[in-house]
């Protein structure tokens, strides 16, 4: 197993701290950085980032996707999107497939072929410096599955402890008080996956055909076959949701 840490997206946030944390969590692992040409800035230049052209948004993945997932949570997000009038939130949600395309570009053009295990993260992701990720790296690699990390508001807010999420399906009778963060969903603040299971050509094809799902649904769509993925609370989170 040869690991590459792939940081992509718009370079913003407390990046130096975030990268220092990654170096502590994954010592001696090579790191690669990419961003969009349209968002080149001092931060991305400081990290020798590569650049790709930001994709054109030709559909709304929340309400115009050709293949909506049969998922109650997705439908709730979709309803919420359609009910929102705030242009800021709508614009943000419209960008929800770009992270999948950015990762595809990075794997296609920036990461040498000898790297067969990927840690995908964002510039504004903060990882824990108090946990050991070895178990999950080995699980992902040996079982050929994707594993996603995040924290979730009232469900789990401890960055420095892991909680494995139950593999339970959402139905009309699902009790909303317990975790629903596995069914057709892959936590995406940080993702482990063997390189070979991310079909970059399929990402581009689905984008062009308006079939690519947004955010955590899209990561599930591109990385899980027959629900053979795993989600974890803790270990990584977007910096705005946690205290260092």
Q: What domain range is 232 assigned to?
A: 3-241
Q: What is the pLDDT of residues 134-161, one digit of tens each?
A: 999 999 999 999 999 999 877 888 999 9
Q: Return the CATH number at 205.
A: 3.90.550
- Going 236 to 237 to 242 to 244, the CA torsion angle's sign is positive
Distance CA 90, CA 105 (A): 25
Q: Which residue has the tokens 């197993």?
A: 1
Tell me, what DSSP letter sits at residue 156? B
- Each of the 244 residues of the chain gets a pLDDT tens digit; together they read 999 999 999 999 999 999 999 999 999 999 999 999 999 999 999 999 999 999 999 998 988 899 888 888 888 878 877 777 666 666 777 889 999 999 999 999 999 999 999 999 999 999 999 999 999 999 999 999 999 999 987 788 899 999 999 998 888 777 766 667 999 999 999 999 999 999 999 999 999 999 999 999 999 999 999 999 999 999 999 999 887 6
pTM for this model (two decimals): 0.95
Identify the H or E element spanning 243. none
Q: Could you give phi then psi for residue 6, rounded to 5 degrees?
A: -110, 110
Identify the H or E element spanning 128. none
Q: How many domains does the chain have?
A: 1
Q: What is the pLDDT of residues 87-107, one digit of tens each?
A: 666 677 788 999 999 999 999
Contacts of 186 (CB under 8 A, 6+ apart): 146, 148, 216, 219, 220, 223, 224, 229, 231
């Amino acid at each position: 197993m040869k690991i590459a840490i792939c940081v992509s997206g718009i370079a913003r946030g407390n990046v130096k701290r975030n990268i220092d944390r990654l170096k502590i969590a994954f010592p001696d692992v090579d790191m690669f950085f990419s961003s969009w040409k349209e968002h080149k800035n001092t931060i991305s230049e400081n990290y020798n980032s590569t650049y790709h052209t930001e994709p054109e948004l030709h559909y709304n993945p929340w309400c115009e996707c050709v293949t909506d997932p049969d998922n109650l949570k997705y439908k709730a997000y979709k309803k919420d999107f359609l009910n929102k009038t705030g242009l800021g939130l709508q614009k943000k949600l419209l960008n929800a497939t770009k992270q999948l395309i950015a990762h595809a570009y990075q794997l296609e053009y920036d990461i040498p072929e000898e790297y067969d295990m990927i840690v995908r993260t964002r510039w504004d992701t903060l990882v824990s410096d108090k946990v050991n990720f070895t178990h999950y790296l080995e699980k992902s690699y040996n079982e050929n599955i994707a594993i996603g990390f995040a924290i979730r508001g009232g469900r789990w807010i401890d960055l420095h402890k892991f909680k494995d999420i139950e593999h339970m399906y959402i139905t009309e009778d699902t009790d909303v008080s317990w975790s629903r963060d596995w069914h057709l969903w892959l936590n995406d603040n940080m993702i482990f996956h063997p390189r070979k299971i991310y079909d970059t050509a399929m990402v581009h094809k689905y984008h062009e055909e308006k079939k690519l799902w947004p955010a955590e649904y899209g990561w599930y769509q591109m990385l899980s076959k027959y629900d053979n993925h795993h989600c974890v609370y803790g270990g990584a989170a977007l910096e705005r949701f946690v205290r260092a």
